[in-house]
Amino acid sequence: RWPVPYRRFDYRPKTDPYCQARYTFCPIGSAIPVMKEEDVIEVYRLQAPVWEFKYGDLLGHLKIMHDAVGFRSSLTGKNYTMEWYELFQLGNCTFPHLRPGMDAPFWCNQGAACFYEGIDDAHWKENGTLVLVTTISGAMFNEMAQWVKYDNETGIYYETWTVQASPDNQSIVWFDSYECSKFILRTYQKLADLGAVFKKIQTNYTSIILFSGEPIYLGNETSIFGPLGNKTLAAAIRDFYNPFKPHQTVREFFVDLLKIIDRVILNHQFYLFYNLEYWFLPMKFPYLKIIYEEVPLPVGSKASFGV
């Protein structure tokens, strides 16, 4: 039963005009090219602090990192970057908007892959990582590109939180996150399955973990907020999400922060929205932790190609 499997969908819904991003998603994105089968393509691990373009290494000190993958064609000499991130920034993917006249919380949550020509060496090297991890053929790259298309069309919602029973290594995982690093790990695994052999280097990734007792299923938007819904539960969920709204003043921020501490830590409450369904998390110490843990590069299942 646990962890709850991430749900895949048949198509990507149109985005609502209400959902606006402060920074445009994938502004220079392009189609993934078809490589010549005999091409030899270097694959690079890319990692940098989240919002490095704005805050430099600030979030790197907290080990809050963003992951991507780079490619270099030996035949053409061209470089490419591929990453997966939120369409409307992290806050919108993590917490909803409470809109006037709407009973249900309104979510601006989608994530998607972005592919573009070039690798911004300075961005990845200055405060992060740019390192060769394997070499693949053009034919393998083209197969990977088909998989990326499928993955991108069916895995459409960003999930910020990993939810575990405790900080122990063998702890039960209730819910797994679905964010940038998970896309990179899936991409590496696909390349390994196609025959790529990865270098033996240490690779670490950021996870934001909530700690909870066994989650309690509450229902979906219709069953909770619909005409025959549970008015008391609906009010409790709206009340819980209210302090997470974007803040206008410093005073509002601290007032709402105290409300969050009261509910999550003192009253052990958290409402999670996952796979378009609501769950209640009975929170436990240490409540929340940001970890930067090692996840080894994968071992493939086919005949090898590469380093």
DSSP assignment of 44-90, as one string?
EEEEEETTHHHHTTTGGGGT-EEEEEEEEETTT--EEEEEEEESSHH
Residue closest to 79 by CA, chosen among 123, 126, 128, 24: 123
| pTM recorded for the entire structure | 0.92
- Cβ–Cβ under 8 Å, residues 153 and 114: no
Active-site residue, from 93, 108, 114, 180? 180
Identify which of 107, 33, 102 has the alpha carbon closest to the alpha carbon of residue 72.
33
Residue 280 CB neighbour total at 10 angstroms: 19
Which of 66, 93, 108, 114 is an active site residue?
66
Please choose, from the candidates 151, 160, 166, the residue with its C-alpha nearest in 3D space to the C-alpha of residue 180.
160
Cβ of 233: how many Cβ atoms within 10 Å? Answer: 17
The list of the chain residues with pLDDT below 70 reads 53-55, 247, 301-307
CA pair distance 155, 172, nearest whole angstrom: 24
- 195 contacts 300 by C-beta, under 8 angstroms: yes
Integer Cα distance of 107 and 145 in angstroms: 29
**pLDDT at residue 250, rounded to an integer:** 85
Whole-number pLDDT of residue 181: 97
The Cα angle at residue 131 between residues 178 and 25, in degrees rounded to 5: 40
Q: What is the pLDDT of residue 123?
A: 87
Rounded to whole angstroms, how far apart are CA atoms 23 and 91?
A: 13
The pLDDT of residue 237:
97
DSSP code of residue 298 = P
What separation, in Å, do the N-terminal and C-terminal C-alpha atoms of the chain show?
A: 39
What's the token pair of residue 271?
């409402």
Backbone phi, psi, residue 83, to 5°: -150, 175
Q: What pLDDT shows up at residue 227?
A: 95
Q: Is 114 a catalytic residue?
A: no
Q: What pLDDT, on the 0 to 100 scale, is given for residue 306?
A: 46
Backbone dihedral region for residue 152 (phi beyond 0: left; psi -120 to 50: alpha; all else: beta): alpha
DSSP H or E segment with residue 288: strand 277-294
Is 180 a residue of the active site?
A: yes
